[in-house]
Amino acid sequence: MALINQALLDAVEGIARDAGDAIMRVYAHGFSVEEKEDKSPLTEADKAAHNVIVAGLQALPVQFPILSEEDIEGFPGADAEGRYWLVDPLDGTKEFIKRNDEFTVNIALIENGKPVLGVVTAPALGVGYVAGQGLGAFKIEADGQRKAISVAGKPKAEAPWRVLGSRSHPSPDLAAWLAQLGEYTMLPMGSSLKLCIIAEGFADAYPRLGPTCLWDTAAAHAVVLEAGGRVETLEGTMLNYVNPNEKLNPNFVVWGC
């Protein structure tokens, strides 16, 4: 699609990095933690990143409605073409509070339920992942070097599956799923970084058998798609974002093959 071009991707990456800078200022000086109605944590870093991202997206030459985790009520709905920005200003707030550096800024553009552009930055780690439909998927290293990434493909017969798990959300259903998978090794990790690690070929699967929201996955989902991977429900259909009024994702698996 003509809308998705390198200039737009670069602009959104810049917005995400500005939001990351706002987060890191809070990270450096300490912060208080509030509790939302759903009992999830909220910090001033979430709010600061949200404000930076909304201002940045509203300044772009192309305008779409914005659904941010920090302003759900302000979202008017997708436009007539089914397009909207889907934003998690600070994904992995629990990781942020624990100070383990595994938190991200997520910005995605959705069109008719599909993430067609995604930017994920990990400000404490200094890395980022970007993708646009037809443009490919890339990792941006801490030194600014950009390299194309792709999934690893199915493990060889004698190799164990490299499985990623949530550091903050263990699931009682996971053991049964893993038993069906076969031999595996498990690496815990926080936030949307799990999807990006699969996109760059360093892991093979990430089963999420527990609640997540649309904004938790969309940006990294775009990266996985452009890297050649899949994000599917347990029924084998692509995870989609066609109904933003339904905030929760179903259970899903990210596949690097």
Residue 1 lies inside a defined structural domain of this protein: no
pLDDT at residue number 243: 95
Q: Are residues 118 and 184 in the same domain?
A: no
pLDDT-above-70 percentage for the chain? 96
Domain-terminating residue out of 86, 121, 148: 148
> Are 119 and 179 within one domain?
no
Look up the domain containing 235 and give its range.
161-255
Tell me how far apart the terminal alpha carbons of the chain are, to the nearest angstrom. Answer: 25
Lowest mean pLDDT among 38-42, 48-52, 98-102, 116-120: 38-42
Are residue 109 and residue 222 in the same domain, yes or no? Answer: no
Amino acid 35: pLDDT: 75
CA neighbours closer than 13 Å in the CB half-sphere of residue 204: 16
Q: Tell me, yes or no, whether 140 and 170 share the same domain.
A: no
> Across-strand partners of 205?
163, 255
Instruction: Give the CB-side neighbour count of residue 138, counting CA atoms within 13 A.
Output: 18
Give a yes or no: residue 155 inside a domain. no
User: Does the reported pTM lie above 0.85?
Assistant: yes
228 Rama class: left (phi>0) / alpha (psi -120 to 50) / beta: left
Same domain for 128 and 14: yes
- 121, 148, 175 - which closes a domain: 148
Find the CATH number of the domain harbouring 36.
3.30.540.10
Flag whether 16 is in a domain.
yes
Same domain, 237 and 126: no
8 contact partners, CB below 8 Å, separation of at least 6: 60, 62, 117, 132
Same domain as 137, residue 181:
no
Report the CATH number that the domain containing residue 219 is assigned in CATH.
3.40.190.80
CA distance 120 to 139: 9
Tens of pLDDT, residues 39-73? 677 788 999 999 999 999 999 999 999 999 999 99
